[in-house]
Amino acid sequence: TEPVAVPPAQRSSWTSFLKAIASFSGDLSSLTAPPFILSPVSLTEFPAYWCERPALFAAIPEGKTNEERALAVLKWFISTLKGQYTSRNETMGMEKKPLNPVLGELFYGYWPDKDGRGRTDLVVEQVSHHPPITAYYIANETKKVALQGHNAQKTSFSGASIIVKQIGHATLTITLPDGKKEQYLMTLPRLVIAGLLMGSPYIELSETSYIASSTGWLSTIEYSGRGYFSGKAHTFKATVTAPSGQTIHTIDGQWDTTSKFRKTGAEFTNVLSPKEEVTVAPIEAQQDAFESRKLWEKVAQGIRGGDFEMASREKSKIENEQRQRRKDEVAKGEKWALKHFVRVESDPEYEQMGRLFNAQPPIEDTYVFQHNAPPVA
Ligand code: HCR
């Protein structure tokens, strides 16, 4: 197959990149890739995808019953998938390789209050470099809804695709009007990065992910794509079961367009309207040298402007500076201190709610937000 989407001058470097991936398993971020596939955006910006429909996030605690709130969480979750997994194809023409965050990299942002939905704030920190792990906290204090999670990836190669197993989980906490807290544990789907031979990567989701609630309600989401049972790209089927184990709702559709309740045909999700990007302080106003857009400014400029020599020179500067920091820490017997998150060995909420779907592994570590981030003005 001709890699038609690859600029002719980069075809041999693309072939070498694919060969390197094929014989490799682990952290893809460290492999050198040809310029056409480089994204100017760091992976620390990705948690913003969780809240690009802030009204759906804010509406979760408004559900009157456990069932209504379980459906509201599922609706918000499914509605984020289009942004999470297809937005680079829309903005850059294909899935690209994001910038590999440095340890301690930060990303702050918010979605303003509008129509009484309240303001939503986002804090992201790169809590590990090898392997890359990103922790995040997103909260709407007015509506009393917050999401805390961390994300890492394990990659392998199968057929002509990269398979990405997502490691980590997210927990959504809401506070109800009577002061009671309710929680939802979310696991994440498996990714298949296809279209590599053509030089035009895109994501399909596969396998199953879960949303388990402390109320006993459970959503099970099965993903499939073109060539699977439905033959349609970006397909999912979700079942929502009551604590008794009885399936109360089944929902089918496409996570990048619309979905419906199987029984009534009523619409469940619709993501055809534009989403709302996170607001970030202008680069000149970013206070910390480790704030993502400030840190990668020149690299991103090089990639956007096609000056790949500058991009690579600036990237090497950042990487060398990081290597030096690590050496100095070893010499001084010090360890990098995280700013906003503390790692704990096991997450009791994961263990407890994970029992509803027999979570594997049964125990996971987690990163707990310290509620010490400055609000973005
Ligand atoms: C796999 C991926 C890095 C991780 C990205 C994650 C899983 C990060 C968490 C977000 O919530 C969702 C998300 C969406 C992205 O689709 C996924 C990235 C897609 C590509 C990238 C690889 C490391 C880069 C592979 C290089 C290819 C494009 C040749």
Taking 60 as the threshold, does the pLDDT of residue 230 lie above it?
no
Report residues whose beta carbon is within 6 angstroms of any ligand 1 atom.
28-29, 37, 46, 49, 84-85, 95-98, 151, 153, 164, 166, 191, 193, 201, 203
Q: What is the pLDDT of residues 93-134, one digit of tens each?
A: 999 999 999 999 999 999 999 999 999 999 999 999 999 999
Yes or no: say if 281 and 268 are a contact pair by the CB < 8 Å rule: no
Alpha carbon of 65 to ligand 1 centroid (Å): 36
Mean pLDDT in residue range 234-244: 97
d(CA 249, CA 54): 24
State the closest ligand 1 atom to the C-alpha of 88, by its place in the atom list counted from 1: 16
d(CA 6, CA 8): 6
Q: What is the pLDDT of residues 166-183, one digit of tens each?
A: 999 999 999 998 999 999
Q: pTM value?
A: 0.96
- Enter the ipTM: 0.98
Yes or no: say if 343 and 366 are a contact pair by the CB < 8 Å rule: yes
Task: Looking at 23-65, list the stretches that DSSP marks H as alpha helix, in order from N- to C-terminal side.
Answer: 54-59
Taking 90 as the threshold, does the pLDDT of residue 308 lie above it?
yes
